[in-house]
């Protein structure tokens, strides 16, 4: 089972706030943004760079800048909570959107929207807070690969072992990043201990 966990103490502190039933949407949203910032840094540590000559106030030198742009694709709707930190951190970011709606009876997601920028030869991060069964993530990754994406990464807040196994099986070349690998899915395919329905808690639609 391949997954890279963000073990920074601040990440775990923020995640605890997201999990708590006492956290209302007003406080849930900034916690999600801050935690996503840490996850974004974790998932992009190896981005390619190129040398560039610059002049400091004291002398010329050779600096290093990002070699290419970055593509971020949130899975609607909950993935929107993870978009802003990427846009703030990276100067040349392109954004796509994939809409997948989960049937609460079957836990199977159906696609209702897909708008992707150029993903060929770009590092593309698919972002979705909850990796439960892995069905939505696998569908999104397949769409990105069909559009020419080769360097695809999945960034989540919380993952279940079942979802990690499903993504690893379908897309062994795709690295996974999360703040926690939780215990299991319950009989309704919700992550335990989890944090409930991320989208509902984010948008106050409980």
Catalytic hit among 19, 102, 153, 201: 102
Alpha helix (H) ranges present in 79-203?
83-89, 135-146, 161-170, 198-203
The encoded tokens of residue 47 equal 């981005």
Residue 16: phi and psi, rounded to 5, are: -60, -40
Active site residue 106: yes
Catalytic hit among 16, 52, 173, 200: 200
Q: b/e per residue, 96-125, with b = 16+ CB within 10 A?
A: bbbbbebeeeeeebeeeebebbebeebbbb
| C-alpha 150, offset from chain centre | 17
Active site residue 46: no
Alpha carbons 201 and 198: distance in angstroms, whole number:
5
Among residues 119, 121, 116, 148, the alpha carbon closest in space to that of 67 is found at: 121
Catalytic hit among 2, 106, 150, 205: 106
Alpha-carbon dihedral 159, 164, 167, 171, rounded to 10 degrees: 120
Active site residue 102: yes
C-beta neighbour count of 190 within 10 angstroms: 17
Report the number of secondary-structure helices (H) and strands (E) in the chain. Answer: 6, 15
Active site residue 187: no
Residues with a catalytic annotation lie at 102, 106, 197, 200
């Amino acid at each position: 089972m391949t997954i890279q966990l963000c073990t920074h103490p601040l990440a775990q502190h923020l995640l605890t706030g997201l999990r708590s039933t006492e956290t209302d949407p007003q406080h849930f949203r900034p916690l999600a943004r801050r935690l996503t910032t840490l996850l974004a840094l974790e998932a992009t540590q190896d981005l390619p760079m190129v040398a560039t000559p610059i002049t400091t106030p004291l002398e010329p030198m050779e600096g290093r800048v990002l070699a290419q742009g970055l593509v971020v694709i949130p899975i609607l709707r909950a993935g929107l909570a993870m978009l802003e930190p990427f846009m703030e951190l990276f100067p040349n970011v392109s954004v796509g959107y994939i809409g997948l709606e989960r049937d609460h009876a079957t836990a199977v997601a159906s696609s209702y929207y897909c708008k992707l920028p150029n993903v060929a030869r770009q590092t593309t991060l698919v972002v979705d807070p909850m990796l439960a069964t892995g069905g939505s993530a696998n569908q999104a990754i397949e769409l990105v690969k069909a559009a020419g994406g080769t360097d695809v990464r999945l960034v989540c807040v919380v993952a279940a072992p079942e979802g990690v196994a499903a993504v690893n099986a379908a897309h062994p070349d795709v690295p996974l990043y999360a703040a926690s690998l939780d215990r299991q899915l319950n009989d309704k395919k919700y992550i335990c201990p989890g944090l409930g329905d991320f989208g509902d808690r984010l948008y106050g639609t409980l």
